[in-house]
Structure 1
């Protein structure tokens, strides 16, 4: 009996250890109006930076950059994994680069999001191994309307898909077996998938698929979700009076938009199969990213059929193994595309944005207004003055505030503001108060306010309880009023600048007198960065 009890006890320990490992594995969970990333059993805010495409291909290039990440207050790096280097020969894997990235990140107290540069990177198949590229008969390419081959693997080839799936599955299995501390927290599947020069592929297999009936899986989804489809897709479908049978042109009409919808379905199916193969080995959260059509050109003049906002329904129904559709930002339309990407219950994660000073204001808005999971400027290692970068100062504040941000995410008690010379003021409602947030230059106190092109500024505001607020950011002026009455005024009872140290508030200066304009407002000047905790009161 003793032996049996020992066996039972050991079995219980084994089960407990397995369950504990699963609990610690990163995952996404619903939180109020959005989703949160859970790492080591706790909510996690990604304050990231993406490496330039080629930096991670060399251990020598990586060695000097780790100190920059610490100086910039990052907690996560986004690093490519190159198919051509991971599997240089068919049947041969080399995990040297991957293992070194993970090991060095762990040593520097950083998490890692891996970017799978597989079949497609910025539309092209430039990271496919040589043994794939040089065997066109086995691994066919996409073609244009003249049947000319493109430097793009065909999404209609089972051989292409099988090769990508197999490599990605081995990668995920390797991470599961070697990354016991869960340094890797998410994975990007492919990179900026999209068809170029054409809206869709013109191979014989693609043409046959185009002439077949729209898959019943998609048709059933469209019928069931007709009233909640993104407007762009619903409008395209309406052109055939919402036809529910026939091939792609029967259902969506004859147009480049139809070609793009068709291609999106097959790109999404391909990406989903790759993701599913990886998740079958190790089920980390996975996302895909998109190159945006901000110039308003036709499909094929931008990367057609990627996980774009007007194709969200297509991607979501075709790729259930993909957790998030993400925008890459290299355009001035930040609010517009964030709005578009938070439709269809899609949480916002910004894995790539041009590395520039405005990032430091945009990150406050993304996290405060959209409850973003994370943010990541591109080529983060390219700076020579990491401590002086505006994003470093923003990340310093956000890393201090992370426990509060994550506590209030999805609760309706947190907001973000983004301001510039065209959008100088924004009003937000939190509880019984209206907060009027204006650009610092609206005060007219700075001589730079007379110059055109004001710097982009922003902040995050959290309502801790009825009268208590946290305001953090740069270049803003905040005034308060009581909603629904002109007879009762809101006053600033006290305001303290300070820091969070190990999650606990440490007040610094009392921001009275000139610092709050004798009780008129809360101010964080342009080029300054701070956190203020504010207590209001009401008087007649």
Structure 2
């Protein structure tokens, strides 16, 4: 008996496969962090243009450019129509090439699944799906006119997407689970209904008249006190009803149409995500096309996507999705960031317009909101001058990754973002009040007289009650003690670099650079990491 037990244990030790560290999300303080091979990972990303990943030769010159920009993760589309050009016949050559070359360049990948929907439309569905509208029905407007949008209400549409997505995830696991080059999956792209708030196809209309699924009411009752205020107000307006169809509970309106559509989009996505994770359980997220203006009506923007005012619908019907993420093509950066960190959602910005200020926005999102990562869109298409801001920003953040990841979600990291209108911010950290201002507010530069100031920003990390790291561009910081009847003095400021998570000082900035001990300054156009030690006196 003992002998058999001994040899059984030896067999397991010799022949059992070593366990593979997984890619997963883990809570730290108030946020989730991405873990790759059991180590936290900060995405310094760049999203490729929609067509770039569809040709290996086109990609050949992009890889070294990404390395030169200090990018560590590429967000790359993978396309249903190229993976399954004929029904049931799968071709993963492009997927294999992306993984192999990313691995060779020590880059990670986030795959963007362009399946049933891309920017609302079904433009990446294969030709054999598009042409067979009887088998794969489309959404229609209220006049019965078909749209270039596959309807989420028909099982054939879901089953076709599930089949290819499962094959994709199975394939990624087979070739990459050991190396974990692919670290996350975006499920579809910017889902939403256009040009109306909901699908008016025959089946959609029939479902609209049926009672609301019981699971939705269970969620609403359980989370009544923590619902997003704009959604709670809609439910409250008609008396917090917990039975009935969509109009009976929420009233007859475009808002109700959007809530209805969001539930069934989310239900579709949850089933698709669950199927994909059953093959390879990578973190999966959704990106969102934001309203181009706050007063726009559903259908004027992609209705029913994972927008803040219907976030509760998505959380209820799509619990398998790990993150809801905003794409930015409007100027209200802080406003939308604030909406996407509610309800325990961790901020990740998978797509943002590539323009001036993207560096400051990166420092702000990662500092103020402990964002999981940041990714400008069409990153491969900028000139060297256009990409200089991202290159410089990512150079600093790449050095700071260990300390950023150590402090995320703990209240010891923050960030600021400035333009001419919003040019000052006070932060309470440690024993001090830190007053950040736009560098041009000093008035020393001729640019200070310009009508518009460049966007600047920085992050700050508290190392001790009187010691801070400030990194960014175009900011000035002054300090005062929280305690009354004392003043703050600057012991020293060192500009330096981080190597292997440790600060290596360079220039001592106690002279003109700190205005003889009055402030810490990173001039507009410069990018710097500075460490400051404070003291108090009376």
- SS class of match (1:17): coil
Task: Supply the distance in 2 between the matched residues of 1:6 and 1:292 (Cα, whole angstroms).
Answer: 61
Task: Supply the distance in 1 between the matched residues of 2:394 and 2:455 (Cα, whole angstroms).
Answer: 16
Alignment of 1:159-198 (within 5 A): 159-179=156-176, 180-198=178-196
Counterpart of 1:500 (choices 498, 509, 521) is 498
Alignment of 1:333-348 (within 5 A): 333-348=332-347
Corresponding residue number in structure 2 for 1:403 = 402
Corresponding residue number in structure 1 for 2:479 = 480
Task: Supply the distance in 2 between the matched residues of 1:388 and 1:372 (Cα, whole angstroms).
Answer: 21
Counterpart of 1:275 (choices 269, 273, 283) is 273
Counterpart of 1:132 (choices 118, 125, 129) is 129
- SS class of match (1:509): strand
Task: Supply the distance in 2 between the matched residues of 1:56 and 1:16 (Cα, whole angstroms).
Answer: 34
Task: Supply the distance in 1 between the matched residues of 2:387 and 2:371 (Cα, whole angstroms).
Answer: 25
1:356-408 deviations in Å (ceiling 9; x for gaps):
12110000000000000000000010023179520110000000000000000
Gapped regions of structure 1 (runs ≥ 5):
none
Corresponding residue number in structure 1 for 2:140 = 143
Say whether 1:292 aligns with 2:290.
Answer: yes
* Pair 1:513–1:306, CA change in 2 (3 A): same
Alignment of 1:3-402 (within 5 A): 5-12=6-13, 17-18=18-19, 21=20, 24-179=21-176, 180-295=178-293, 296-385=295-384, 389-402=388-401
Gapped regions of structure 2 (runs ≥ 5):
none
Structure 1 position 33, deviation (Å): 1.0
Task: Supply the distance in 2 between the matched residues of 1:259 and 1:9 (Cα, whole angstroms).
Answer: 62
Task: Supply the distance in 2 between the matched residues of 1:212 and 1:538 (Cα, whole angstroms).
Answer: 68
Q: TM-score, normalised by structure 1?
A: 0.97
Task: Supply the distance in 2 between the matched residues of 1:457 and 1:138 (Cα, whole angstroms).
Answer: 52
Alignment of 1:462-481 (within 5 A): 462-481=461-480
Task: Supply the distance in 2 between the matched residues of 1:66 and 1:412 (Cα, whole angstroms).
Answer: 36
Structure 1 position 123, deviation (Å): 0.1
Task: Supply the distance in 1 between the matched residues of 2:241 and 2:519 (Cα, whole angstroms).
Answer: 57
1:97-134 deviations in Å (ceiling 9; x for gaps):
00100111111110000000000000000000111111
* Pair 1:387–1:300, CA change in 2 (3 A): closer
* Pair 1:260–1:14, CA change in 2 (3 A): farther
Task: Supply the distance in 2 between the matched residues of 1:160 and 1:219 (Cα, whole angstroms).
Answer: 27
Alignment of 1:509-524 (within 5 A): 509-524=507-522
Task: Supply the distance in 1 between the matched residues of 2:169 and 2:363 (Cα, whole angstroms).
Answer: 33
Structure 1 position 227, deviation (Å): 1.6
The question of whether the paired residues in 2 share the 8 Å contact of 1:479 and 1:521 is answered with yes
Structure 1 position 297, deviation (Å): 1.1
Structure 1 position 202, deviation (Å): 0.4
Corresponding residue number in structure 1 for 2:452 = 453
Q: TM-score, normalised by structure 2?
A: 0.98
- SS class of match (1:168): helix
The question of whether the paired residues in 2 share the 8 Å contact of 1:50 and 1:79 is answered with yes
Alignment of 1:402-421 (within 5 A): 402-421=401-420
* Pair 1:434–1:13, CA change in 2 (3 A): farther
- SS class of match (2:44): strand
1:301-345 deviations in Å (ceiling 9; x for gaps):
110000111111100110011000000000000000000000110
- SS class of match (2:344): coil
Task: Supply the distance in 1 between the matched residues of 2:4 and 2:91 (Cα, whole angstroms).
Answer: 45
RMSD of aligned Cα (Å): 1.2
1:427-467 deviations in Å (ceiling 9; x for gaps):
00102210000000111110110111100110000000111
Structure 1 position 291, deviation (Å): 0.3
- SS class of match (1:340): helix
- SS class of match (1:472): strand
Corresponding residue number in structure 2 for 1:536 = 534
Structure 1 position 15, deviation (Å): 5.6
Structure 1 position 6, deviation (Å): 4.0
Structure 1 position 12, deviation (Å): 4.2
Structure 1 position 136, deviation (Å): 0.7
Q: How many residues align?
A: 535
